[in-house]
DNA sequence: ATCGCAAATGAGAACGATTATCATTTGCAT
DNA sequence: ATGCAAATGATAATCGTTCTCATTTGCGAT
């Protein structure tokens, strides 16, 4: 096991709830999860962690740089493991599937747009909402 | 006055609250406003409209295509007059100022990214969060 | 102008996501 | 094993938004 190290390095002491949340993300079974998603998946697997703790831990992990938070439409934040490389998202309006992409041209153009207007970019979010045209889309999971 | 026509054309009957909300947006004093912003500005100008009505009217105007809704970070939706041409936003993290832009290259690249992955775009939102480097930024209004 | 009535309004309750409170438990350095 | 700051979890509180429902209003037909 190496999770305890991750937490230590992040300056967080290694507690049971934190280890459970972290390994859920590291399990890879679901890459983008809301607090509610995490809470329910943990309950389902027999590990019960308080909902308040889930929220707290997700925020701490975000601050520690272990997770990245996204604000998609629909109100609830979604988290994913921080794998170091920035990327943007396409969300399927039919099935909710989230696909990741990174486009150098778009990234470069954003810098130019900002610079031209006297801004220095801190962060950005590009969310494309679309319909899968492929059969892989279960249209309403 | 031409607001009543706008409402008629949108299939909405011309009521006092709807006219007040519409003319607030048309006054141009503030381009991007949340429901709370609208509610408070109307109260401040002596026109009292119920908060529930403000929410209802904003949603109806959005559906009618009179307003466009944006989901910036921070939870609350923001509305602006629909001037027909799509654009994206740069938000200053210091003063909250919102600047608009439209970049053909970015728009085109998004289409390509989506098409390459078998998606057909319905909508998208590109939010750049940045700091104004110019003096015009009041750094905390 | 008056009527009639469906549509709209507004006060307040309800809601869903998130945060705050605080008594109890736990990790961990000694 | 002990002590204690830090973390947890049940619950209350908060925030933005939507719902409910009794009252009011816009407006087409008289
Ligand atoms: Mn992602
Ligand atoms: Mn705008
Ligand atoms: Zn799909
Ligand atoms: Zn600024």
Can you give the distance from the CA of residue A97 to the C1' of nucleotide D7 in angstroms?
A: 35
**pLDDT at site A84:** 93
| Strand C close residues, chain B 24-53, CB < 7 angstroms | 48-53
Q: What is the mean pLDDT of chain A?
A: 91
Is residue B101 located within the same domain as residue B39?
Answer: no
Cβ of B113 within 8 Å of Cβ of A90? The answer is yes
| Predicted pLDDT at B73 | 87
Q: Same structural domain for residues A64 and A99?
A: no
Q: Is residue B108 assigned to a domain?
A: yes
Q: Output the domain CATH number for residue A105.
A: 3.30.1490.190
**Nearest 10 degrees: CA dihedral of A28, A34, A38, A43?**
-140
Average pLDDT over residues B83-102: 91
| pLDDT class of A100 with cuts at 50, 70, 90 | very high
Q: How many CB atoms lie within 10 A of CB B3?
A: 15
**A47 and A102 share one domain:** no
Residue B141: pLDDT band (50, 70, 90) is: very low
C-alpha B98: how far from its chain's center?
A: 11
For residues B71 and A139, the model is more confident at: B71
Same domain, A10 and A38: yes
% pLDDT > 90, chain B: 77
Q: Are A15 and A49 part of one and the same domain? A: yes
User: Cβ atoms within 10 A of the Cβ of A35, count?
Assistant: 20
Angstrom distance (rounded) from CA A7 to CA A2: 9
Task: Provide mean pLDDT across the span B98-124.
Answer: 95
Closest CA to A128 of A85, A88, A78: A88
Answer yes or no: is B135 within a domain.
Answer: no
Distance CA B32, CA A85 (A): 32
| Cβ atoms of A57 and A18 closer than 8 Å | yes
Å between B61 CA and nearest CA of chain A = 19
Residue B2 has what pLDDT?
A: 64
Identify which ligand lies nearest to the alpha carbon of A95: 3
Binding-site residues on chain B for chain A (CB distance < 8 A): 71, 73, 75, 90, 92-93, 99, 101, 103, 105-106, 109-110, 113-114, 117-134
Q: Are residue B68 and residue B125 in the same domain, yes or no?
A: no
Does B137 fall in a domain?
no
Compute the average pLDDT of residues B61-71. Answer: 96
Q: Which pLDDT band, with edges at 50, 70 and 90, does B138 fall under?
A: low
Task: Indicate whether B55 and B102 sit together in one domain.
Answer: no
Q: Mark yes or no for CB contact B90/A129 under 8 Å.
A: no
Residues B19 and B37 in one domain: yes
Tell me, yes or no, whether A112 lies in a domain.
yes
Name the closest ligand to CA A132. Answer: 3
Q: Judge whether B94 lies within some domain.
A: yes
Name chain B contacts of A106, Cβ cutoff 8 Å. Answer: 106, 109-110, 113
The answer to whether residue B141 sits within a structural domain is: no
All residues of chain B having their beta carbon less than 8 Å from the beta carbon of residue A34 are: none
Q: Does residue A75 reach within 7 angstroms of strand C, measured from its CB?
A: yes
Instruction: Tell me the per-residue pLDDT of B49-59, one tens digit each, with 9 for 90 and over.
Output: 999 999 999 99
- Asked whether residue A141 carries a pLDDT value surpassing 80, the answer given is no
Indicate if B72 and B126 belong to the same structural domain.
Answer: no
Here the CATH number for the domain that contains residue A17 is 1.10.10.10
- Residue pair B22/B5 in contact by the 8 Å Cβ criterion: no
3-state percent helix, strand, coil for chain A, nearest multiple of 5? 40, 25, 35
Residues B44 and B107 grouped into a single domain? no
CA-CA distance, B62 to B53, in Å (whole number)? 14
pLDDT value of residue B10: 83
Evaluate whether residue A141 is within a structural domain: no
Same domain, B13 and B61: yes
CA B77 to ligand 3 centroid distance, Å: 25
Let me know whether B76 and B99 are in one domain. no
Q: Which domain does A20 fall in, by range? A: 3-81
Indicate whether A139 pLDDT > 70.
no
Separation of alpha carbons B65 and A126, rounded Å: 23
pLDDT at B114: 95
For residue A43, give how far its alpha carbon lies from the nearest alpha carbon of chain B (Å): 27
Number of helices (H) and strands (E) in chain A: give both, helices first: 5, 5
pLDDT at B90: 95
Last residue within a domain, chosen from A63, A81, A99:
A81
Query: Is there a domain that residue A136 lies in?
Result: no
Encode pLDDT of A34-69 as tens digits: 999 999 999 999 999 999 999 999 999 999 999 999
CA distances from A140 to A92, A132, A136, B50, B117 (A): 10, 12, 12, 37, 19
Overall number of domains in chain A: 2
Between helix A104-116 and helix B104-116 the angle, nearest 10°, is: 160
């Amino acid at each position: 096991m190496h999770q305890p190290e991750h937490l230590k390095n992040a300056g967080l002491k290694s507690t049971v709830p934190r280890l459970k949340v972290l390994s859920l993300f590291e399990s890879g079974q679901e890459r983008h999860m809301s607090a509610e998603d995490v809470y329910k998946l943990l309950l389902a697997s027999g590990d019960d962690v308080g909902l308040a703790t889930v929220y707290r831990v997700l925020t701490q992990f975000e601050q520690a740089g272990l997770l990245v938070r996204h604000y998609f439409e629909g109100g609830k934040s979604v988290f994913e493991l921080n794998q170091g490389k920035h990327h943007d998202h396409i969300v399927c309006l039919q099935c909710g599937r989230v696909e990741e992409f990174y486009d150098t041209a778009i990234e470069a153009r954003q810098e130019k747009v900002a610079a031209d207007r006297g801004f220095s970019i801190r962060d950005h979010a590009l969310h494309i909402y679309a319909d899968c045209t492929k059969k892989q889309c279960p249209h309403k999971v």
